Structure 1
Amino acid sequence: MKILAFMAHPDDAELLCAGTLVRLRKAGHDIAIATMTSGSCGSATLGPKEISDIRRVEAANSAAVIDADYHCAEIPDLEIVFDNPSRRKASDILRLTQPDIVITHYPQDYMYDHDMTSMLARDATFGGTLRNYPTDVDAPPVGQIPYLYYASPVDGVNAFGELIEYQFVVDVTSTIETKVEMLACHASQREWLRAQHGLDEYIEYMRRETGRMGATGGYDYGEGYCQHLGHPYRHDNIILELLGDA
């Protein structure tokens, strides 16, 4: 099957769902990673074009670790909105990648780029299947509405600081080191976060958070998810079935 991790920024997939992607890739499935932005605000010293050029390469290098494709909708950071041009860009990504499964942000996260991407990805799982919906790429509509999953919000909390309850947790203990390797490709973000937040714990934060999620399922490391089950989405948990964890 084809799995698309559709996130807001380069490095979001690595932080939130890369361990699962590695397991799915090892099970023989095709992986694509897409972002709505190229990370244009992710530097304290470089301009938008310069840091975007760097981050596209970092994202592609990270995806290449698991032989995955990388796509970018090229919207600037903090400018992701739910409008018709953005909806078409999101549907373009779906048509280019033809996914059976889409993983995106939890609908309520710590910043609106994540929230808007979640809405756009959900919208594209429907709009991307419609033959008469105009998009800008020479690619056919997606054959059927994909399975849709929401990864954990950052720190596992909603806007009120309340821990969300995952519907299930994927054990990524066996793939945590590959997840580390993928995240380490985003070297520019380690430097920016150290300058922006005064902390040098980019990879250690990921390990700690993946450990926290894993503990909720009884694993050393894990990634938590909720599945979109509203009409007309399918209800079987295909991720657990593909991983043999059902």
Structure 2
Amino acid sequence: MNKIALSLLAHPDDAEILCGGTLMRLADAGWEIHIATATPGDCGTMVENRWAISSIRTKEAKAAADMIGATYHCLDERDLMVVFDKPTIQKTMDLFRRVAPTLVFTHAAKDYMMDHEQVSLLARAASFGYGAPNISHHPLKPGSRVPYLYYCDPIEGIDPYGKEVEPTTFIDISAQMEKKVQMLACHASQREWLRAHHGMDEYLDSTRRHSAKRGAKIGKAAGEAFVQHLGHPYPHDDILAKIFG
């Protein structure tokens, strides 16, 4: 099996918050890592125009990815307008075809904002279909297969109705926590905006709190949690548990 992991999430900084420690551990274990966002974060500002902030945020995303030797991709959809339609499905299929992931992370199916939910659908569709020869003009790479698919925690670990998510898999990221925070701090445009708005470093502090909460579930200082997709014909063994215990 090819050791290629892809996180497809909605916005720059989502990967660092939701699965950055796990991606770091995979990279250390010899996996090829790809971090993709549906949008360049073009609405994540109160002061810049959409073109300026997109340039800033994609550079920040690349800098964070570089910290763990990952490759950054962007589908270049618009913030708050991500949809599950034919053109966007095709973009996603093409991305999967180029990367040929065997392990995929995406958003929870139910989350606090619709961009996240739409990206979850896109990742699910592409993970199922990218191996079909006629779905993309990009050549089918050897080893292309239906990948392991994991849904990251929704923000705060709760669904839109306030119900706490019950993960299938917990990953100890205690040793990776400080570097995870450093990756997140690469997204200075978001950190500074939230520091000005909240009067505290909430951007980093909330990530620390949730990682500590998930770590406590397994008796560790910090953790990340996932729900594995187990529908037909996805793999049913928990590869993350196999790799990390």
Residue 203 of structure 1: aligned partner: 204
What TM-score results when the alignment is normalised by the length of structure 1?
A: 0.95
Residue 81 of structure 2: aligned partner: 79
Contact 2:169–2:240 (Cα < 8 Å) also in 1: no
Question: Structure 1 residue 161 and structure 2 residue 150: aligned?
Answer: no
What TM-score results when the alignment is normalised by the length of structure 2?
A: 0.95
Measure, in 2, the Cα distance between the counterparts of 1:190 and 1:139: 40
> Which of the residues 101, 104, 107 maps onto 2:103?
101
Residue 38 of structure 1: aligned partner: 40
Measure, in 2, the Cα distance between the counterparts of 1:117 and 1:217: 29
CA separation of 1:41/1:230 partners in 2, compared to 1, >3 Å: closer, same or farther?
Answer: same
- Total equivalences in the alignment: 242
Residue 130 of structure 1: aligned partner: 132
Residue 51 of structure 1: aligned partner: 53
Measure, in 2, the Cα distance between the counterparts of 1:227 and 1:23: 18
Dislocated runs of 4+, deviation >3 Å: 194-200
> Which of the residues 93, 110, 122 maps onto 1:120?
122
Q: Alpha carbon RMSD of aligned pairs, Å?
A: 1.4
Contact 1:148–1:227 (Cα < 8 Å) also in 2: yes
Contact 1:193–1:202 (Cα < 8 Å) also in 2: yes
Unmatched runs of 5 consecutive residues or more in structure 1? none
Measure, in 2, the Cα distance between the counterparts of 1:241 and 1:67: 23
1:217 deviates by: 2.1
1:194 deviates by: 3.4
Measure, in 2, the Cα distance between the counterparts of 1:52 and 1:203: 21
SS at structure 2 position matched to 1:217: coil
- Give % identity: 46
Residue 184 of structure 2: aligned partner: 183
SS at structure 2 position matched to 1:236: coil
Contact 2:97–2:136 (Cα < 8 Å) also in 1: no
1:200 deviates by: 3.2
SS at structure 1 position matched to 2:159: coil
Residue 229 of structure 1: aligned partner: 230
1:95 deviates by: 1.4
SS at structure 2 position matched to 1:54: helix
Contact 1:44–1:195 (Cα < 8 Å) also in 2: no
Unmatched runs of 5 consecutive residues or more in structure 2? none
Measure, in 1, the Cα distance between the counterparts of 2:198 and 2:76: 26
